[in-house]
């Protein structure tokens, strides 16, 4: 199972860092888009803080709710449906252990808990929803003789690091305390699409085709996995390149 997974040696920041180095001087960072306006066949992008950019074409690689607001402001009223894509909050906890602390076998790349199945047998369903055996799934994630786990928790009471350790200890027969743990809060995590999402996005795109070159891309529209996001971004880039005069 683990053989099927691929990532970057230094983690998911690696391609972002590489791209930002390759495009240094062209790329501008930390530019919050406050507004869009049409300027003939071009666009004017207002940046938080007062500056602005002119553009021949735009890819809005933003969460659906943010893109929807900007598109409504340029007259694409239909884009308000994008606000119905709900981003579900979640918490991830990374925990490090010495290998000998883990009593149970770590088979595969991790596990997922079905809360309906577990809830039927437990008075209080566990807060943990899934766990990735990070050091087993990808090479180089922990020194020899150590294990790195990443737990996914639903929102709930208590210190997430303590909850994750206690529930993993019960499931994987872990002895003692973690060497360290770190909590990450995803207040707007994975998108959950409403009914007819695909048709709605297609309709928004159809309406965008009547404007100067502009496209939407990312997890809010075409699938939340990284590979789907990359494909969505490529398609948007191709569209803008086709429509932008050279």
- List residues near ligand FAD by CB under 6 A: 32-33, 61-63, 66, 90, 92, 186, 189-190, 218-219, 224-226, 229
Instruction: Give whichever of 163 and 219 is closer to ligand FAD, judged by the CB atom.
Output: 219
Instruction: Give whichever of 97 and 152 is closer to ligand FAD, judged by the CB atom.
Output: 152
Instruction: Give whichever of 102 and 229 is closer to ligand FAD, judged by the CB atom.
Output: 229
Q: How far is CA 60 from CA 54, 71, 99, 102, 134, in A?
A: 15, 9, 44, 45, 32
Label residues 38-63 b or e (16+ Cβ within 10 Å = b). Answer: eeeeebebeeeeeeeeebebbbbbbb
Least CB distance from residue 159 to ligand FAD, whole Å?
18
Pair 109, 137: CB distance under 8 Å:
yes
Cβ-Cβ contacts under 8 Å for 49 (sequence gap 6 or more) = 32
CA 164 to centroid of chain Cα atoms = 21
Residue nearest to ligand FAD (CB): 218
Q: How far is CA 35 from CA 138, 142, 168, 193, in A?
A: 41, 44, 46, 25
Instruction: Give whichever of 47 and 171 is closer to ligand FAD, judged by the CB atom.
Output: 47
Residue 112 bridge partners (DSSP): 130
Pair 228, 217: CB distance under 8 Å:
no
Pair 87, 188: CB distance under 8 Å:
yes
Least CB distance from residue 120 to ligand FAD, whole Å?
26
The helix (H) or strand (E) run that includes residue 227 is helix 226-243
Least CB distance from residue 32 to ligand FAD, whole Å?
4
Least CB distance from residue 60 to ligand FAD, whole Å?
9
181 φ/ψ angles, rounded to the nearest 5 degrees? -145, 155
Instruction: Give whichever of 62 and 169 is closer to ligand FAD, judged by the CB atom.
Output: 62
Instruction: Give whichever of 33 and 211 is closer to ligand FAD, judged by the CB atom.
Output: 33
Instruction: Give whichever of 154 and 179 is closer to ligand FAD, judged by the CB atom.
Output: 154
Least CB distance from residue 198 to ligand FAD, whole Å?
16
Least CB distance from residue 224 to ligand FAD, whole Å?
4
Least CB distance from residue 167 to ligand FAD, whole Å?
17
């Amino acid at each position: 199972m683990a053989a099927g997974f691929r990532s970057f040696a230094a983690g998911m920041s690696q391609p972002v860092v590489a791209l930002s180095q390759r495009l240094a001087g062209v790329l501008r960072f930390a530019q919050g888009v406050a507004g869009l306006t049409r300027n003939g066949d071009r666009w004017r992008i207002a940046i938080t803080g007062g500056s602005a950019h002119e553009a021949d074409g735009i890819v809005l690689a933003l969460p659906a709710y943010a893109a929807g607001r900007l598109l409504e402001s340029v007259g694409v009223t239909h884009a308000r449906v994008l606000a119905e894509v709900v981003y579900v909050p979640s918490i991830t906890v990374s925990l490090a252990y010495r290998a000998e602390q883990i009593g149970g076998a770590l088979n595969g790349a991790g596990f997922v808990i079905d809360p309906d199945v577990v809830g039927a047998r437990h008075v209080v369903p566990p807060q943990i929803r899934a766990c990735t055996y990070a050091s087993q799934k990808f090479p180089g994630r922990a020194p020899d003789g150590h294990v790195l786990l990443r737990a996914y928790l639903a929102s709930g009471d208590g210190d997430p690091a303590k909850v994750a350790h206690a529930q993993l200890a019960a499931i994987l027969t872990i002895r003692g305390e973690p060497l360290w743990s770190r909590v990450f809060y995803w207040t707007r995590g994975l998108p959950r699409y409403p009914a007819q999402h695909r048709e709605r996005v297609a309709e928004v795109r159809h309406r965008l085709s009547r404007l100067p070159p502009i496209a939407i891309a990312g997890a809010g529209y075409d699938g939340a996995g990284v590979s789907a996001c990359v494909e969505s971004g490529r398609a948007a880039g191709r569209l803008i390149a086709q429509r932008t005069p050279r």
